[in-house]
Amino acid sequence: MQESAPSLWSTLLIASALTILVLAVFLPVVNYEFIDYDVHGQVLTNPHIRGLTAENLTSIFTSRSLTSYYPVRTLSFAIDYQLWGLHPRGFKLTNLLIHVVNVQLVFWLILRLFHHPAGGLRPHRSFWNVCAAGFSAGVFAVHPVVVEPVVWVAGREELLMTLGALGCFHFHLTARRLGGHSGALLQRRAAYTGAALCCAVACLSNAVGAVIPLLVTAWDALTLDTPKFRKIVYGTTMLWMIGIVTIAIKKLGPENELLAGHVGALSVQRMMLTLNVFWLNLRTLFRPTDLAIVYADDLPDSFLDPEVILGGLSVGLAGALLWKLRGRALPLFGLMWFGLALAPSSQIMAHHWIRADRFMYLPLVGMAVAAAMGLRLLIGVRRTRTAAVAVIVAGGAIVLLLGRASACQVETWRNGVSLWEHCVTISPNSEVAHGALADALTKAGQFHRALPHYRMALRIAPDNKETLNNFALELAANDDKGLRDYDLAIELARRGCEVTQWKSQKLRRTLAMALNNFALELESRREFRRAIQSYTEASEADPKYEAPLFNLALLLATCSDEKLRCGPDAVRVAERACEIVQYRDANGLAILATACAEAGQFDEAAEAMQMAVAAARMAGDQALADRLRSQSQLDSDRSARDL
């Protein structure tokens, strides 16, 4: 079959078609809501992204995001906030645009590799090369495993890391090309500097970027002329330094408590887990159905587990394929990129998530390169134009089918309820999925639908502190009084405190709030003695929580049961509560005034009421200030009449 050189227009047409394909599949996501899963802490309540101030920038580059150091991703959130505020449309559009850039970089990378001497292809661009590159980049563009990092705002770390990796590799290819030209020393050094900067951006977006030096070294080892060692060291030393620092920063961070991290590094369990995960990743790659944001942490318990056996067979076949391709540098490099990029999250080393679709984003670049090289070889074997056209048409059909599957996957990300309902369907044994769905339903005002999912989450993982806290919180404070269950709320919150050895301030506050609300219920039923006991237990559970102290002080000062009314105790408790709020709570100061009056401390009561009026004015609540002033005047008149 005779090669035909394409025009620049045909190349740009395919590049444009890739962009249109990405937009057609993913653009609907800009109208979707934030998914409150990691996004809450990283974006919605993160004060450091609200303005590109010197203080915020310092915090971004000196603090961690959850348990990881990802300042570039956090900086991108700050830029988004500067442009869009907290509107989800802008954040999601940024993810989409980064993915479009990555797709274009993959497309042009494949074209560059086609022209590399290691490829053994003709030096000019053939139309079929461009078609093969378009197909492979199209697979990367719309494969269902890319849905998660593209549509999930917190998944941007994978997009930015891959952007840095691709930029690094493009710069490195340029530096190697300039190495053969005399007088290009300055340009070559500039290209190496660009590669190092891109590698740093990748590593500061996601610690998995530390594999980039491996990818670049593998490329040099496969393509450089001998002697290779000195050339490789010269071209990759800076990248290796960046990678080593990245790993050191990751290791110095706090340990993650999730399951995968507790499997011994050199244990038999680790080996079984690695084989299991390798097979699951391959299955996801070639049969991308039933995908979800989280999967159940089902650890294999025997080498006879089917997925472990299939994983072992897959590793053996992969090794045989790599050996078979040892004379073909480009497809071999693509497969090596896939394997090396997948290794950090494949449980060879401990990783806090056993498996996630987003971990396939960077490895998919390598698979796209390998597919392009394989397709180019296949087209070369087919000597007739008809056969080549048939191969390209089949490839286009595959891309369209993948795009349709991804479009359906994108639909599940409309909001938290739709996402987690889909996830529970795929992973019915995941406590994370059930707990997150329960939270999403509760947020949507459907606590009655959330109840069975909270219970299922605790059945799967009885000591999950997040589920214990959220379930207890809703049972104690739900707007629908018929759905409240104070006894169960207190039981769950106590269990959570015991699980965390009473170190969790969040759970202590939830327990105190449940006890306080239960006391209010008891007080409404005139069970004053039990109410006093419950208020007391609440203040002991969280000594920094002022609400039960103020409520206890008011009850001690105004209780209709004279045997339980005690002015001095009311004053002591109210003063303790006022200290917590630094005497700035108008209602609390009014309670202190009431307690002082009950204890016969009338001057102190008048002073406290004046402070209450001033606090209300300072808070901008003039109606409250007027009401408190009227109450103070009424109490003064009553006291005068009594005298």
CATH topology of domain 427-642: 1.25.40
Q: How far is CA 247 from the centre of its chain?
A: 20
Closest CA to 488 of 505, 496, 478, 476: 476
What's the pLDDT score for residue 123? 44
Write out 278-296 in H/E/C secondary structure: HHHHHHHHHCCCCCCCCCC
Cβ(323)–Cβ(336) below 8 Å: no
CA distance 346 to 513: 42
What's the pLDDT score for residue 206? 92
What's the pLDDT score for residue 629? 82
What's the pLDDT score for residue 264? 60
**DSSP one-letter code for 41:** I
What's the pLDDT score for residue 302? 86
Cβ(153)–Cβ(34) below 8 Å: yes
Q: Could you tell me where in the chain the CATH 1.25.40.10 domains are found?
A: 427-642
Angle value at C-alpha 50, between 49 and 52, nearest 5 degrees: 75
pLDDT less than 70: residues of the chain: 1-7, 66-67, 119-125, 180-183, 253-266, 348-352, 379-384, 388, 632-643
Other C-beta atoms lying within 10 Å of the C-beta of residue 445: 12
Other C-beta atoms lying within 10 Å of the C-beta of residue 540: 13
Cβ(520)–Cβ(513) below 8 Å: no
Helix ranges (DSSP H) in 32-155: 39, 54-62, 71-84, 88-114, 127-142, 147-151
Could you tell me which residues are beta bridge partners of residue 65? Answer: 68
Residues 6+ apart with CB under 8 A from 483: 447, 448, 451, 474, 475
CA distance 468 to 494: 9
Other C-beta atoms lying within 10 Å of the C-beta of residue 455: 14
Q: Helices 586-598 and 602-618 meet at what angle, rounded to 10? A: 170
Cβ(103)–Cβ(137) below 8 Å: yes
What's the pLDDT score for residue 446? 95
Token reading at 186? 């300055």
pTM score: 0.89
Q: What is the pLDDT of residues 352-402, one digit of tens each?
A: 678 889 999 999 999 999 999 888 877 665 556 777 677 778 888 999 999
CA distance 234 to 232: 5
Cβ(591)–Cβ(574) below 8 Å: yes
CA distance 117 to 121: 7
- Amino acid identity of 39? V
Cβ(476)–Cβ(489) below 8 Å: yes
Could you tell me which residues are beta bridge partners of residue 68? Answer: 65
CA distance 454 to 457: 5
What's the pLDDT score for residue 400? 94
Q: What is the pLDDT of residues 429-459, one digit of tens each?
A: 999 999 999 999 999 999 999 999 999 999 9
CA distance 53 to 44: 18
Please report, in angstroms and rounded to a whole number, the separation of the first and last CA atoms in the chain: 115
Q: Helices 229-252 and 212-223 meet at what angle, rounded to 10? A: 170
Residues 6+ apart with CB under 8 A from 638: none
What's the pLDDT score for residue 249? 86
CA distance 371 to 163: 20
